A and B are shown apart, each in its own frame.
Chain A
Amino acid sequence: MGAARRDRADEAAPAGPVLRLRDLTLRFGGVTALAGLSMDVRRGELLALIGPNGAGKTSVLNCVSGLYRAQEGTITLAGSGGANHALHRLPPHRIAALGVARTFQNIELFKHMTVLENLMLGRHVHMRGGVLSGGLYLGRQRRREIEHRRHVEEVIDFMNLEPLRGAEVGNLAYGNQRLVEMARALALDPAILLLDEPTAGMNAEEKESMARFILDVHEERGITVVVIDHDIDVIMDISDRVVVLDFGRKIAEGTPDEVRRDPAVIDAYLGHAREEAAVGAGA
C-alpha cells in the first residue's frame, strides 16, 4: 500500500519544489524573526530545519501553516493538480485542506477528547456534514462517519495506537501524546507534514521509536516531511537534506554531511572560533 502511494505521488509530481518560500520577512515589533528567508522543500524529501534557539525555525512553520502572516514575501505550494496556491494569503484551515499538516512543539491536542475523536478531527477537511445532518444522524452521515472511521483505524494501526483508542488524550503519557498528535496530522492524509521538535523531552528509546515513525511516514506513505529538531544526531541520521537558519536567515543548505562541515554552521553553533568541531557538540 505504501509503495503504491509513493508511486502515485511521483507520477503526479510536477517538476520543481512542492513548497517555495521567497524573501519571507516576519517582524514582531522591533524583533525580526525572519529576514528575507528563501528556501525550497522538494517533493518527497525529508528536510530538516535546524539552527540555534531563536533562529526562526518555528516561525517558518507558523508562516507555512498560516498562523503567522509574514509582512513580506511569498509562500507557494505546488498542488497535486499542477495549480499553485499562495499560502501566505490563506487562513490556516484552507492551508490544512490543501494537505499541509503539522504538529506543535508543546503538543496541542484536544485534551478532553479520546484518541479516536482527536484522529477523527484529522479527517475534518475530507468529511462533509454540518450541524443538521450530524444532529439527525440519518443514513448518509452515519455512512460518512463509518467510512472515515476506517481511515482513522488505518492510521491507528500504522502508529500502533490500538490500546489507547478510547483513552482521553489528557490522561496519556507524554510520549504517547506526541504519537497521537502525529497520528492526528497523518489522519489528514497530508502531502506535507511539518513536525516541530517531535522528539523534545523524550528519552533515547522514545526518540529512536519516534525517528522510526518519521522514516516510516516518509518512506511508506510517501509524504514530504519537514522536521525541526534539536537532536542533531537524530536529524543527521534521518534527513535527506538540511537547511540551517540563524537570525532568520538561511546560512547553509545541503546533505547532512555537507552541512556538518560547513564553516558558517560551525560559527553559528560554536561562535567564531572556527574550530574543527562537530556541529553535534553545539546542540
Chain B
Amino acid sequence: MGAAQAGAGPVRVRRAGWERAMSLECGVFHTRYESDMGLRPWPVQRIRLALFAAFVLAFPFFASPYWLDLANQVAIATVGAIGLNILVGYTGQISLGQGAFMAIGAYSAGLLTMNLGLPWGVSIACACVMTSVAGTFFGLPSLRLKGLYLAIATLAAQEIVEWGMTHWTAVTGGTEAIVLPAPRLFGVRLNTGFSFYWFGVLMAAGTALFAANLFRTRMGRAFVAVRDQDIAASVIGVNLFRTKLLAFATSSFFVGLAGAMIAYYRTIITWERFTLETSIVYLAMIIVGGLGSIRGSFFGAVLITLLPALITNAGRALQDTAPAVAGLLPYAQQAVFGLVIILFLIFEPKGLSKLWGNVKDYFHVWPFAYRRG
C-alpha cells in the first residue's frame, strides 16, 4: 500500500562523493509521504539550491552598480513573471493585461502614500490587494470566454487602464510623472541598488516559494486542472467559476506587487512603463522561460532583462574593432528580441525550464541509462 509509513527520512545507499554530486535519485528511497512530497525531495537538489542561495547572497558585494541595477530589475521581473505564469502558464487563461495590472499596483502604492500618507510597506500591501480585486473584476469575462477571445477581453482591460492613467488627471496626474519619497527602513534608504537588492530578493524568493507551495496543494492543482481539461475538472468537483476568479486574484496580487516594487525602486511613476508593450514583454518572458514553471519564470526574467543589456555591451565592445557592426546593433535589438522568441517557439516550446530539465534528466538516475516515467 504505497510507501510504508514507518521509519524516518530518506534511506540512503552509500556512494562516493562525486557520484552523489552528479546523480539525483539513485540510492535514495523515501519512506514517508512527507519526504516524498517535499519541494526538493533529493539531497542533490538541496545542495544546488544552497549553492544558488550562496551566490545570490554574495552577489551584491562584488557586483558593480550597473549589475546591481540589472539584478534588481530581474527580481522585480521575476515577481511579475511568476504572477503572470500563475494565470497564463498554470491556469491557461491568456492575459494581455499584465501592464495594466502592474500599473494598478504601482499607482495604488504611490497614490496611497502621496494622498493618505501611508508608510511605503503598508502602501505596497494595500496595492497588492487592490490589484487583486481589479484583476478579479477584469477576470469576469473568463467565465464565458476562452483562449484568444479572453486575450482580447484582457486587452480591453489594458486599454481602459492605460486610458485611465493618462486621462484621469485628478487622480493619476495624467501624463505627468508622480514622484515618491524614498522608502526608508530604520533610516536606510531602500531605493539604492544595494539596499533594494535585499528587498527584491526577499520578495522574489517569497513569491517563488508561495507559488511552488500553491501548485503542490489542492487549489493549485485545481488551477492546472482548469487549464488541462476544464470539463473533467468540473465533473471531478472543481468549481470553474470560483477557480478561474481565484487564479486572476492570485496572479494579479503578485503582478501588483511587481508594479509597486517598480514604483518604490524608481520612486517615480510614469504611465510609459505600463503599456501594452510591457504585457507582451512579460508574455515573452514566460514563453521563453517556460509556461507553467516557476524556475522558468525566473529564467525568462533573467534572459529578457539581460538581453538588451548584453546587446548594448556587445555594441560597446565592438566600437573599436568593427564600428559598422556596432552602429547597427541598437537597431538590431528589437530584431534579436523577436528572433530569440521565434527560435524558442520552434526549437524548445517549453522554454529554458525544459532545457534545464533536460540536463537534470540526464543525471536523473545517472549512472544508469534508463529514465523514470
Question: Which residues of chain A have a CB within 8 Å of any CB of chain B?
Answer: 65-67, 91-93, 96-97, 101-102, 104, 108-114, 117, 120-125, 127-131, 133-137, 141-142, 144-146, 149-150, 153-154, 156-157, 162, 164, 166-168, 171, 184-185, 188
Contact between A156 and B2, CB atoms less than 8 A apart: yes
Main secondary structure of the interface of A (DSSP, over half): helix
Known: A134-B214, A168-B373. A108 touches B232 (CB 8 A): yes
Contact between A157 and B2, CB atoms less than 8 A apart: yes
- Whole-angstrom distance from the CB of A88 to the nearest CB of chain B? 16
Contacts of A131 in B (CB 8 A): 214, 219-220, 246, 249-250
Contact between A125 and B219, CB atoms less than 8 A apart: no
Q: When each residue 1-40 of chain B gets 1 if its CB lies under 8 Å from chain A and 0 otherwise, what string results?
A: 1110000000000000000000000000000011001000
- Separation of A66 and B33 alpha carbons in the complex (Å): 35
- Separation of A129 and B220 alpha carbons in the complex (Å): 10
Known: A93-B240, A124-B221, A145-B216. A113 touches B37 (CB 8 A): no
Contacts of A188 in B (CB 8 A): 236-237
Contact between B373 and A112, CB atoms less than 8 A apart: no
- Separation of A119 and B77 alpha carbons in the complex (Å): 34
Given contacts A96-B236, A188-B236, 14 further A-B contacts (CB under 8 A): A66-B234, A67-B231, A91-B234, A93-B235, A110-B225, A113-B221, A131-B250, A134-B213, A134-B214, A134-B216, A145-B37, A145-B217, A157-B2, A168-B373
Contacts of A156 in B (CB 8 A): 2
Contact between A65 and B235, CB atoms less than 8 A apart: yes
- Separation of A91 and B229 alpha carbons in the complex (Å): 17
Contact between A112 and B224, CB atoms less than 8 A apart: yes
- Separation of A188 and B238 alpha carbons in the complex (Å): 12
Q: Is B144 an interface residue (CB 8 A)?
A: no
Contacts of B228 in A (CB 8 A): 109-113
- Separation of A102 and B231 alpha carbons in the complex (Å): 12
Q: For residue A125, which residue of chain B has the nearest CB? A: B237
Q: For residue A111, which residue of chain B has the nearest CB? A: B228
Contacts of A150 in B (CB 8 A): 2, 33
- Separation of A131 and B237 alpha carbons in the complex (Å): 17
Q: For residue B2, which residue of chain A has the nearest CB? A: A153
Contact between B229 and A93, CB atoms less than 8 A apart: no
Q: For residue A122, which residue of chain B has the nearest CB? A: B236
- Separation of A244 and B246 alpha carbons in the complex (Å): 43
| Residue among B1, B221, B233 with most chain A CB within 10 A | B221
Known: A146-B33, A146-B34, A164-B373. A135 touches B238 (CB 8 A): no
Q: When each residue 112-140 of chain B gets 1 if its CB lies under 8 Å from chain A and 0 otherwise, what string results?
A: 00000000000000000000000000000
Contacts of A149 in B (CB 8 A): 33, 37
Main secondary structure of the interface of B (DSSP, over half): helix
Q: For residue A104, which residue of chain B has the nearest CB? A: B232
- Separation of A92 and B230 alpha carbons in the complex (Å): 11
Interface residues of B in 236-259 (CB under 8 A from A): 236-240, 246, 249-250
Question: Which residues of chain B have a CB within 8 Å of any CB of chain A?
Answer: 1-3, 33-34, 37, 210-211, 213-214, 216-222, 224-225, 227-229, 231-240, 246, 249-250, 292, 372-373
Q: For residue B250, which residue of chain A has the nearest CB? A: A131
Give me 25 A-to-B residue pairs in the complex whose CB atoms sit less than 8 angstroms apart, sorted by A's number. Answer: A67-B234, A93-B237, A93-B239, A110-B228, A112-B227, A113-B221, A114-B373, A120-B218, A120-B221, A124-B222, A124-B238, A125-B236, A125-B237, A128-B218, A130-B246, A131-B214, A131-B219, A135-B211, A135-B213, A145-B37, A153-B3, A157-B2, A184-B236, A185-B236, A188-B237
- Whole-angstrom distance from the CB of A241 to the nearest CB of chain B? 24
Contacts of B221 in A (CB 8 A): 113, 117, 120-121, 124
Contacts of A93 in B (CB 8 A): 234-235, 237-240
Contact between A136 and B210, CB atoms less than 8 A apart: yes
- Whole-angstrom distance from the CB of B88 to the nearest CB of chain A? 14
Contacts of A112 in B (CB 8 A): 224, 227-228, 292
Identify which of A96, A108, A123, A141 contacts B229 (C-beta below 8 A). Answer: A108
Known: A122-B236, A131-B219, A146-B37. A154 touches B214 (CB 8 A): no
- Whole-angstrom distance from the CB of B62 to the nearest CB of chain A? 33
Contact between A127 and B218, CB atoms less than 8 A apart: yes
Contacts of A162 in B (CB 8 A): 2
Contact between A130 and B231, CB atoms less than 8 A apart: no
Contact between A92 and B235, CB atoms less than 8 A apart: yes
| Residue among B213, B219, B232, B237 with most chain A CB within 10 A | B237
Known: A111-B229, A136-B213. A129 touches B218 (CB 8 A): yes
Contact between B232 and A144, CB atoms less than 8 A apart: no
Identify which of B229, B235, B238, B373 contacts A166 (C-beta below 8 A). Answer: B373
Q: For residue A98, which residue of chain B has the nearest CB? A: B237
Contacts of B231 in A (CB 8 A): 67, 92, 108
Contact between B232 and A110, CB atoms less than 8 A apart: yes
Contacts of B235 in A (CB 8 A): 65-67, 92-93, 96, 101-102, 108
Contacts of B218 in A (CB 8 A): 120, 123-124, 127-130, 134, 141, 144-145
| Residue among A92, A150, A168, A184 with most chain B CB within 10 A | A92
Q: For residue B239, which residue of chain A has the nearest CB? A: A93
- Whole-angstrom distance from the CB of B326 to the nearest CB of chain A? 44
- Separation of A144 and B250 alpha carbons in the complex (Å): 21
- Separation of A133 and B1 alpha carbons in the complex (Å): 28
- Separation of A18 and B114 alpha carbons in the complex (Å): 63
Contacts of B1 in A (CB 8 A): 153-154, 157
- Separation of A72 and B239 alpha carbons in the complex (Å): 25
